Structure 1
């Protein structure tokens, strides 16, 4: 039965006080009978009985104070515990005493709750610190699809601010597709060369009894790129083996036949055509062999050996290697990088060669003198080396870093792939885009960390 007040039941204090008063009535009645038996005057009887009643009331008041005050103290302690205030304690408690035992047990309860509260706060602080330091985006949504949790990595990935995003629906934040993905599903975030692929871990948890959806996104782009590289390596190894088995005898036989034809007397028209055909076979075999060797070079790239390198000197050396177009670079503050100089030179050679090919392209809109420009700038902890041309620009950027893909006659399709692989081995990247400075052409950015 609830302990609330009712019309039929007195409060604890009033009930106790009434019973104590009633216990004093027999004493007063007995005293009155004794006084009457001894024929004490009425006035004196009245004074005696009033004094006795006043003394009894005073004694009850003192007794009630001794009973009620400890209970009020314990009530205040319990109320403080309910409000998560663990600083209050009951004093004067001792064992072998009902009220003292109660006070000690409440104090122990307060100490236990305080310890649990401190542990919960420490655990929450640890969770928040882990969430802030995690490189994987973490988000949580309530049953209505409203965002309830967002860590720093998710802010960077989705371009959100936690103060502005919390409480908004997934549709308002353009994150509704995250709620539709299945557990362990791989999704792409971003577009073009900036796109990353993430595997989504999806689970549920309860907060205050309400079910929520927790999403953790793990960037698997690097792992998938490595798997793609290994797949290309296996494919090229098989293709190289099979094609070389055919090219070697073809080239040898073509050379032998040409030698025997040269020894024949006379040179009829048929023998000349036959010799030309053999020469074409030999040349194409050699070209195809070089093509395969280039791919083997791509797949057999060794790990970089880092050493201090002056960026200014490196760019000067590379710029002198391109003779078809004018390669210029602005006087910039020198930067010392911890890189493999040979690898970075090769990456820049490929980027400059592509830029020169684009500048010399007959499709170039700008009919001015073909040119290639190089400059660099420091952005955060990276240096961005920009290679710009005045060619026709990019029309399809989706296949730029796919091996075997090329739009240039006689191209092998490994220049950009090799440059990207070198940059990634240095914890950097290569990005291509059309120029945004009012000029036609393409811009290739080689991003490298300044510290190794």
Structure 2
């Protein structure tokens, strides 16, 4: 019944027409009565009657059209503002009274909304630029635990494009536990997250915001591994500078004394009365040991000083396949899985060659030490939209102590210096990439070099 009642309601413009019609009714009846008793021709009466009703009809139609036009104009203006178009304005020319005030109010409202919309868009652009430039990964999740925002840092961290993940469940990024914990209390801690195939320490902060009264969640993830590695490298650099200073201060007098004693021994040999031949021989042996150790110590310091002297990369564009093939020729057994389409890199070719030679050499030595001299070194690489990952796999005994892989001075080789892997990682980090070493899924170890591709 309510619907029928609503349908039975009269339109506003029709009400105005009825009011005007009621206003015309009394003078029209009076005119008809006077016309009826007037002593004029019947034809004149009919003509006058038609004229009166025509004037009334045209007047009512004009009232209805004027009111309808104004209402439609105001409706279109409000509808445009509702849709976000604030450029339309009500025409207030030759309009006075209440209608002029109403149009002026509509125009003022449109101007205010246009100004607020511009301010909002400018703030959104500013916020977008900030989130695009910061190194903190930002992920927004709605109440259904679906992804609604990923900034470029998050895309790089998870190697996923936001366009491909928008609307997906947060489980696709492996952050469902963070969202579940945030529903209880906002987080602010260092957590170990599984990013891809690796577990990495991340500083995680979460917060809650509301849209239409419904809670949504923000996740801020900071990769602190680079910070920790930089701090670790700087600490070792300070230590190496101290060691270099102290050891060089000892090497200089040792070398000088050894040279002086060599001259004395030579003098004794020329004049046998100065000392016995047995003494001369013992002094020769001792001095040889001193000289040899001083030389070895000097080489030791020179090797470790390389950690503080890694030059910044001199980048150029080159193809990856010829470089890998050239390095493989240095080793007896090497198997390369080359994709159909070659990869172009923008990097320091000499430094990358140094890293690959070191990695290939370690893989070859691992095969030899395990007695798998016939097993080849397997090399392959895969690409995504933004990154290249090179895998070098051996068939050795694997890695038994992964915690000390990148600790300076630590080595499992008899004649190793303990800086090869550190230098490799530092060179790759200087290129904005990642260098990891882990046990292969089946046997042996796998070195992975991740580098950014040309954008």
- Structure 1 length as normaliser, TM-score? 0.65
Q: Name the structure 2 match of 1:76.
A: 75
Q: Name the structure 2 match of 1:442.
A: 445
Equivalent pair of 2:204/2:220 in contact (CA under 8 Å): yes
Q: Name the structure 2 match of 1:369.
A: 373
Residue 118 to residue 432, structure 1, CA distance change in 2 (3 Å): same
Q: Name the structure 2 match of 1:291.
A: 300
TM-superposed CA distance for 1:393, in Å, is 1.6
Q: Name the structure 2 match of 1:231.
A: 235
TM-superposed CA distance for 1:295, in Å, is 0.8
Residue 388 to residue 15, structure 1, CA distance change in 2 (3 Å): closer
| Cα deviations by residue, 1:327-356 (Å, 9 ceiling, x for unpaired) | 445596987766545434432332233223
Q: Name the structure 2 match of 1:177.
A: 178
SS of the counterpart of 2:365? helix
SS of the counterpart of 2:411? coil
Q: Name the structure 1 match of 2:362.
A: 354
Matches within 5 A, 1:272-283: 283=292
Equivalent pair of 1:90/1:103 in contact (CA under 8 Å): no
Residue 356 to residue 163, structure 1, CA distance change in 2 (3 Å): closer
Residue 414 to residue 319, structure 1, CA distance change in 2 (3 Å): farther
> 1:25, 1:329 → 2: CA distance?
105
Q: Name the structure 2 match of 1:44.
A: none
Residue 257 to residue 175, structure 1, CA distance change in 2 (3 Å): farther
| Cα deviations by residue, 1:79-132 (Å, 9 ceiling, x for unpaired) | 625752759979875335236515643663575378459748965985797599
Q: Name the structure 2 match of 1:312.
A: 322
> 1:336, 1:21 → 2: CA distance?
85
Matching of residue 431 in structure 1 with residue 440 in structure 2:
no
SS of the counterpart of 2:246? helix
Q: Name the structure 2 match of 1:65.
A: 64
Residue 213 to residue 402, structure 1, CA distance change in 2 (3 Å): same
SS of the counterpart of 2:310? coil
> 2:215, 2:197 → 1: CA distance?
37
SS of the counterpart of 1:360? helix
Residue 431 to residue 163, structure 1, CA distance change in 2 (3 Å): closer
TM-superposed CA distance for 1:293, in Å, is 1.6
Residue 282 to residue 315, structure 1, CA distance change in 2 (3 Å): farther
Structure 1: stretches of 5+ with no match in the other structure? 41-49
> 2:154, 2:454 → 1: CA distance?
26
> 1:88, 1:345 → 2: CA distance?
61
TM-superposed CA distance for 1:300, in Å, is 1.0
The partner residue of 2:426 within 412, 421, 426 is 421
TM-superposed CA distance for 1:235, in Å, is 1.4
- Structure 2 length as normaliser, TM-score? 0.65
> 2:120, 2:288 → 1: CA distance?
82
Equivalent pair of 1:377/1:385 in contact (CA under 8 Å): yes
> 2:112, 2:346 → 1: CA distance?
55
Residue 198 to residue 374, structure 1, CA distance change in 2 (3 Å): same
Structure 2: stretches of 5+ with no match in the other structure? 40-48
Residue 78 to residue 314, structure 1, CA distance change in 2 (3 Å): closer
